[in-house]
Amino acid sequence: MKLLAGIIESNEGEIKQIDANIKYPQWAKSNIAYIPAGDRTLYYKISVKENILYYAALKGENINEVLNKLTYYANKFVMEDLITRKVETLSTGQKKKAQLLCVLCTSKKLLLLDEPSSGLDIDSVYELQRLLTELKEERKIIVSSHDFNLISNVTDEYYFVEAGTIAKHHLGTLNQDDFLAIYNEVKGML
Amino acid sequence: MISKYLTMIKYQIIVSFKHNINYKLNLISEGALFTATYFGLIFFNTNLQHDITMFIIGFIFWSIGVIALGSSSSLIESNAKNGLLELKMQSEFPIVFINFIVTLIIIMTRLVTLLILITLTFVMFKEQFGNILPVMFSFIIAIPAIFGMFGIGLIFGGITIAEKSVGSFLMIFQGVLLFLGNTTRPMIYSFESLIPYVLGIEITRNLYTGETVPMQILLYIVINLLWFGVGCTVFQYFINRERKYGIFDTY
């Protein structure tokens, strides 16, 4: 995910985008919004809203558009009352939602979500699932997850990665049973 | 593009200010240490009491310099530990530019303490208020030194990225600078002028005593631009190295 986000560089091979006029890391900065696993990358002593606006400013976003998106997504995530609270007062799941709001409120074409459901309660996972279904119509999303509840029934394409290599690729949405069947097959193969 | 930069600067000011103000104990302890150093130097060094304005000029340069040095370096270390370095690495703006803005904000915050201390000193030592002019000049003449000291801080920051921490080495270096340069005494050796703020102090003191400052200004600017350039280059080297062989999150 960090390679795709342009944060680190590969030792072998390379990543290229269709518009190859600029180097990939530079393209990634302008077109990708990434949230890492865990609740790092948030300032704890300031509010969720301030974190979102700061992230947007770092990504060169139009702040008025970000504020409009924030109203929409805060409502979706039932976060209206939380966005003015300091991050340090939030639960793990709420911090995760705050991170998600940071990337969702940008206008970036590609969203990279690393373990987005970690710490989320069951309702929030379903809400995230609904949101991903809605969002994938307008943007590309790459999710790295161990949570098959989240990624089954939502994702259009699956890469099963084991020990740093792609063990299996599946095109098309999988339900939970099919997902687990492929997972077990991959595990059995290794 | 300019409006993007202005928006980023605006939100960096808001975030840095609110973030710093919320770490109250840190703010108080840093202010106390700063005040103690200031008055310690005045009261335990009787030579300084002969010309308090000369000392204040030196102290302004040293304090602005070490803040630029310290914040440049410690910012990178703390950002790396809490994941904010990854956040800034995603930014459309160069990380050096972002950190320079943060450093300026920290300097501005500390200037409030410094101005209070200077006013107190003027009252305590019954200094002529006419001397306030060269003191105020110090803040302007110190601007090139901010770049130079920030550049040295970037070297420490680069080492931090590679080694994960520079420990107390930075604090020792800041202390050594206090006595190595001309903060508390006149400049003795020409090599001292390699310290970014030393020639700034000389220039301001010469202005204060009515002496001329011919080539010093040019040399002062060149030395600081060089340190800034070297700092940026070294820092970029370590960032590129980490991007290639590291992952930015094991601190």
CATH of the domain at A130: 3.40.50.300
8 Å CB contact of B8 and A57 = yes
Given a contact cutoff of 8 angstroms between Cβ atoms, the answer to whether B43 and A99 are in contact is no
Query: Over 80: is that where the pLDDT of B71 sits?
Result: yes
What is the total count of domains within chain A?
2
> DSSP assignment, residue A90?
S
When the pLDDT of each residue in chain A is averaged and rounded to a whole number, the result is 88
Residues B56, B58: Cα–Cα separation, whole Å = 5
Given a contact cutoff of 8 angstroms between Cβ atoms, the answer to whether A88 and A45 are in contact is yes
Looking at per-residue pLDDT, the higher value among B202 and B175 belongs to B202
Half-sphere exposure of B158 (CA within 13 A, CB side): 19
The alpha carbon of residue A34 is apart from the nearest alpha carbon of chain B, in Å, by 8
Task: Please give the residue range of the domain that contains residue A68.
Answer: 1-147
- Same-domain check for residues A143 and A169: no
- Same-domain check for residues A86 and A173: no
Which residue is closest to B82 within chain A, CA to CA? A40
Looking at per-residue pLDDT, the higher value among A16 and A69 belongs to A69
Q: Which chain A residues are Cβ-neighbours of B245 within 8 angstroms?
A: 11
- Same-domain check for residues A119 and A174: no
Residue A91 has phi, psi (to 5 degrees) of -75, 170
Residue B45: per-residue pLDDT: 66
Residue A162: per-residue pLDDT: 85
Residue B102: per-residue pLDDT: 92
8 Å CB contact of B90 and A2 = no
The alpha carbon of residue A78 is apart from the nearest alpha carbon of chain B, in Å, by 25
Q: Which chain A residues are Cβ-neighbours of B15 within 8 angstroms?
A: 43, 46, 50, 54
- pLDDT band of B250, cuts 50, 70, 90: low
8 Å CB contact of A54 and B11 = yes
Contacts with B146 (C-beta within 8 Å, 6 or more apart), sequence order: B64, B65, B68, B103, B104, B107
Residues A52, A105: Cα–Cα separation, whole Å = 8
Q: Which chain A residues are Cβ-neighbours of B247 within 8 angstroms?
A: 2, 8
Residues A132, A154: Cα–Cα separation, whole Å = 7
Parse chain B into domains and list their residue ranges.
Answer: 2-245
Token readout for A76 is: 């979706």
Residues B113, B64: Cα–Cα separation, whole Å = 12
Query: Over 70: is that where the pLDDT of B46 sits?
Result: no
Residue B222: per-residue pLDDT: 96
The alpha carbon of residue B250 is apart from the nearest alpha carbon of chain A, in Å, by 12
Torsion from C-alpha of B126, B129, B134, B137, nearest 10 degrees: 120
Residue A112: per-residue pLDDT: 94
Q: Rounded mean pLDDT of B32-41?
A: 82
B82 touches chain A (CB under 8 A): yes
Residue A93: per-residue pLDDT: 81
- Same-domain check for residues A52 and A34: yes
The 10s digit of each residue's pLDDT in B116-173 is: 888 888 888 887 777 888 888 899 999 999 999 999 999 998 988 887 777 678 888 8
- Amino acid letter at B27? L
Q: Which of A5, A40, A50 sits opposite B15 (nearest CB)?
A: A50
Query: Over 70: is that where the pLDDT of A121 sits?
Result: yes
B84 touches chain A (CB under 8 A): yes
When the pLDDT of each residue in chain B is averaged and rounded to a whole number, the result is 85
B249 touches chain A (CB under 8 A): yes
CA B152, distance to chain mean position in Å, is: 10
Contacts with A67 (C-beta within 8 Å, 6 or more apart), sequence order: A53
Query: Over 80: is that where the pLDDT of A100 sits?
Result: yes
- Same-domain check for residues A137 and A76: yes
B87 touches chain A (CB under 8 A): yes
Given a contact cutoff of 8 angstroms between Cβ atoms, the answer to whether A86 and A116 are in contact is no
Q: What element of type H or E holds A65?
A: helix A63-76
- Same-domain check for residues A11 and A61: yes
Q: Which chain B residues are Cβ-neighbours of A38 within 8 angstroms?
A: 83
Which residue is closest to A6 within chain B, CA to CA? B90
Given a contact cutoff of 8 angstroms between Cβ atoms, the answer to whether B122 and B129 are in contact is yes
Looking at per-residue pLDDT, the higher value among A65 and A190 belongs to A65
Residue B23: per-residue pLDDT: 72
User: What is the model's pTM?
Assistant: 0.85
